[in-house]
Structure 1
Amino acid sequence: MKKTKYIFAIITFLMSFGCALFIANSMFGNILFGSRPVSILDKIKEGDMIFQTSQSKQCEAIRIATNSKFSHCGIVFIEKGEKYVFEAVQPVKYTPLETWIRHGKENQFVVTRIKNASTLLNIETLQKMKNYAKRFNNKDYDLYFEWSDDKIYCSELIWKIYKNGAGIELCPLQKLKDFNLKDTRVKAILAERYGNKIPLDESVIAPSNLEKSKIVTTIIDTY
């Protein structure tokens, strides 16, 4: 009887492990390579940019105003061998990569990488980017999308890290008035934030601007 229970326990464990592995494979596109699960996340390198669709009224307004499915983004850094997304939320912080992915709608995400990254993003340059990024850690999220360092939003964070840490301008800045501000949902958010004094000439950068940059290439797209 004890032997039967022992065998049953082993079978149950193996079935549970198999189910867990199947779920992980489904979420992150893992495949079996030899005896080790190889994930599409293994393709992601330090300095890569990652984009997702977040779900909130503000994020919906961002998607509409920028005519894009993306409303949030971050930059990938490696700390002690683990991949993190450095992101501007409240507050700015490092989020484990897989946790960050699960925060997005249906776990979907896109990863882009600057062209010629192997040359442009050497160890020294990446360290400069990480050193520059540290000044923003734990800073407040910028609800007003102002182009200052007092507070900061997600796409602004990435743009400034590349510009000031690596000397690379990912794309030109835009003005707030350049976006689609006529939709009632966008108007509601603007009225809530600014009242009647909308800073139409404020310099801004959107996740979609970074994702469409002419100097990046798409590495992963799970949409």
Structure 2
Amino acid sequence: MSGFKKVLLSVLLLLALVTGVVLAARNNLTGKHLTKKVSAGIPAVQEGDIIFQVSESDLSTAIQLATHSKYSHCGIIFKRDDQWYVYEALQPVRYTPLQQWINRGQRRHFVLKRLKDAATVLTPEVIGRMKTAGKQYNGKDYDAYFAWSDTRIYCSELVWKIYKAGTGLEIGELQTMRDFDLSSPAVKKIMKTLYGDHVPLEERIISPVSMFSSPLLVTVAQGGN
């Protein structure tokens, strides 16, 4: 082999080695970054936290348009058998494992919020009262009509009522249906399907965005895309 070929081979081998090292380092850093990103919110979870996501349900688009917010679903965090769950009003009202709940949302995006005074307000006794208040709703049907009753119940209503019963606090401002933007075709179609020609414009409603924007809460974690 000539001297030139030996030099060329050495250079090619060196380039291959350097490229391999760089790719390995980059993959390692990316893996660490992704692991950190995926698990960032989980260790921070506390009982009583409220978690928000963009739902993939049929009603999600209408809720987003009517409330001018991308967040269309929420639940409350409780611990059961040493595992984290989201207590949510879906169909039916249920406890869903936290990671499963996150995975179900659009692009796995979530925002975790906490009561500003959680350290002093959400004592074990108060959390117990909140869990007891929530038991009456477990297994009940989802309320697609958004009526302010306990016969059926929707997501933000469940969380609001648990907080009100357990702490006396009102997380988010109650509104009436007429306060929302009902002008878009998608919203009109849903309203027509649900109510026909008799839309209950004075029905009390607590929306996910009203809770999301509550000054009583602070954001403690978020994840996904």
User: Does residue 199 in structure 1 map to residue 200 in structure 2?
Assistant: yes
Distance in 2 (CA, whole Å) between partners of 1:186 and 1:59 is 10
TM-score calculated relative to the size of structure 2: 0.83
- Cα gap change, 1:69/1:28 in structure 2, threshold over 3 Å: closer, same or farther? farther
- Report SS of the residue matched to 1:171: coil
User: Does residue 69 in structure 1 map to residue 77 in structure 2?
Assistant: no
Give 1:207 deviation, angstroms: 0.5
- Report SS of the residue matched to 1:128: helix
Spell out the pairing of 1:54-93 with structure 2 (5 A cutoff). 54-93=55-94
Q: Which runs of 5+ in 2 are unaligned?
A: 1-26
Q: Which residue of 1 aligns with 2:37?
A: 29
Q: Which residue of 1 aligns with 2:118?
A: 117
Q: Which runs of 5+ in 1 are unaligned?
A: 1-17, 31-37
Contact 1:28–1:40 (Cα < 8 Å) also in 2: no
Q: Which residue of 2 aligns with 1:161?
A: 162
- Cα gap change, 1:76/1:201 in structure 2, threshold over 3 Å: closer, same or farther? same
- Cα gap change, 1:151/1:191 in structure 2, threshold over 3 Å: closer, same or farther? same
Contact 1:27–1:107 (Cα < 8 Å) also in 2: no
User: Does residue 41 in structure 1 map to residue 48 in structure 2?
Assistant: no
Q: Which residue of 2 aligns with 1:208?
A: 209
Q: Which residue of 2 aligns with 1:5?
A: none
The root-mean-square deviation of aligned C-alpha atoms, in Å, is 2.0
- Match for 1:127: what amino acid? G
Q: Which residue of 1 aligns with 2:141?
A: 140
- Cα gap change, 1:156/1:27 in structure 2, threshold over 3 Å: closer, same or farther? farther
- Report SS of the residue matched to 2:136: helix
Q: Which residue of 2 aligns with 1:9?
A: none
Contact 1:28–1:41 (Cα < 8 Å) also in 2: no
- Match for 2:80: what amino acid? E
Contact 1:61–1:185 (Cα < 8 Å) also in 2: yes
**Deviation sequence 1:68-121 (CA, Å, 0-9, x none):** 010110000001111000000000000000000001000000010011100000
Give 1:218 deviation, angstroms: 0.6
Number of aligned residue pairs: give it: 197
Distance in 2 (CA, whole Å) between partners of 1:171 and 1:141 is 20
Distance in 1 (CA, whole Å) between partners of 2:90 and 2:162 is 16
- Cα gap change, 1:28/1:211 in structure 2, threshold over 3 Å: closer, same or farther? farther
- Report SS of the residue matched to 1:69: coil
- Report SS of the residue matched to 2:96: strand
Give 1:39 deviation, angstroms: 4.2
TM-score calculated relative to the size of structure 1: 0.84
Distance in 2 (CA, whole Å) between partners of 1:137 and 1:56 is 20
- Report SS of the residue matched to 1:29: helix
Identity %: 44
- Report SS of the residue matched to 1:70: coil
Q: Which has the higher contact order (CA 8 A, sep 6+)?
A: 2
